[in-house]
Amino acid sequence: MADEGRGLLERVRGFGTGDEIALATRLRKEFPAELVAAAMTQERLRQRGKAKFGDDAARMFFTAHGVEQSTRVAVADHRAARIAAAGIRTAVDLCCGIGGDALALARAGVRVVAVDRDPLTCAVAAANAEALGLAERVEVRCADVTEVELAGYDAAFLDPARRTARGRVFDPEAYSPPLSFLDTLAAKVPCGAAKVAPGIPHEAIPSGMEAEWVSYAGDVKEAVLWWGEKLVEQPLRATLLPQAASLAAATPRQAPHGPVGRYLYEPDGAVIRAHLVAEVAEEVGGVLVDESIAYITADTLVPTPFAHAYRLTDVLPFNLKRLKALVRERDIGTLTVKKRGSAVTPEEVLKKVKPSGRTSATVFLTRVDGAPTMLLGHPV
């Protein structure tokens, strides 16, 4: 980047929405209008990028698509640490985007060839490697990932495009490249990982691969398919970040169900996606409230990173009039509505119940042994 551009980026650093017009007007007296617009756009993207890249975002470069689709740094670092711990020293990052995963791998000590077919995206990825002092470990190539020579790498990482001009793609074979491209990768590169949508059906997971669902602060971010002896540990895994808690099993199991106890456990989304609710139920000594509902109940409180616990005060048949009366009696003004196995939306409940008191509570709309039920309680 030219010195003029770097200087301009420094001038616009940290501007707020209210400063935009005045700042742009002032800078256009010194710089071409197109350059000012580009710098201000880049600063907006950097501000958005901070949520995923932290303080590094202030030195990085982004495209609108890149900042939206890039992996959160904590998730990329988790993956990179696992790859580096397996003794892998060289990797190819296919569909690298603006370089988030390549940068994480480089920080972990892996030399990376990052590949994308879009020239602008490649330029941004290379600029990011240079900006963060990782250019010696990251080589960026502009090419079609399906035509890249794969021999000689210890591992591969693939992040296929899962969006088109019409929106998100849910069929794994509609990814670009399609999920079946993993067969080619696994045949040519001894081990690796592929990022896929967290909603991927279990039956679509290729045989012999490990599927890991990753959540960050309770929000499921992605699923990753791992292959190769160095990386595959268990077929199913749920990982919770930033606490780095991990739960794994060979096959999914059905947890028993039974009467509602004093506590309700709400498993993390990654645990539910990975079909590992039975493992959490066993850990806390609990049972499901219904054989088809991923809520766990128990009479004892057992700390676990894999579920949020609630102390229950009421177990009632579903009846919004009764809930409204109870909310009024308890002086509840903040009512958190959660649902699983119920057709009623939280918005409908709040509109009809109209909480307006000084206390708070959580209500779960669900089924207990097949019957519509309301469970009222408080987070532990």
Bridging pattern class, strands 236-241 and 245-249: antiparallel
| Interacting residues of 281 by C-beta distance below 8 A, sequence separation 6+ | 255, 256, 265, 287, 288, 296
- Give the pLDDT confidence score for residue 158 in this predicted structure: 96
The C-alpha atoms of residue 375 and residue 276 are separated, in whole angstroms, by 23
Residue 6: pLDDT over 80: no
- Give the pLDDT confidence score for residue 171 in this predicted structure: 87
- Give the pLDDT confidence score for residue 31 in this predicted structure: 86
Q: What is the pTM of this model?
A: 0.91
Out of 14-18, 118-122, 211-215, least confident range: 14-18
Residue 2: pLDDT over 80: no
Average pLDDT over residues 53-81: 93
Instruction: Spell out where the chain has E strands.
Output: 90-94, 111-116, 138-142, 155-158, 163-164, 167-168, 191-196, 210-216, 219-227, 236-241, 245-249, 263-267, 287-290, 293-298, 307-317, 332-339, 359-368, 371-379
If one compares 47 and 18, the residue with the highest pLDDT of the two is: 47
Largest CA distance in the chain: 73
Beta bridge partners of 264: 297, 310
Single-letter amino acid code for the residue at 3: D
Q: What is the pLDDT of residues 261-304, one digit of tens each?
A: 999 999 999 999 999 999 999 999 999 999 999 999 999 999 99
Alpha-carbon distances of 374 from 248, 296, 349, rounded to whole Å: 31, 14, 11
The C-alpha atoms of residue 307 and residue 285 are separated, in whole angstroms, by 13
- Percent of the residues in the chain that have a pLDDT greater than 70, as a whole number: 99
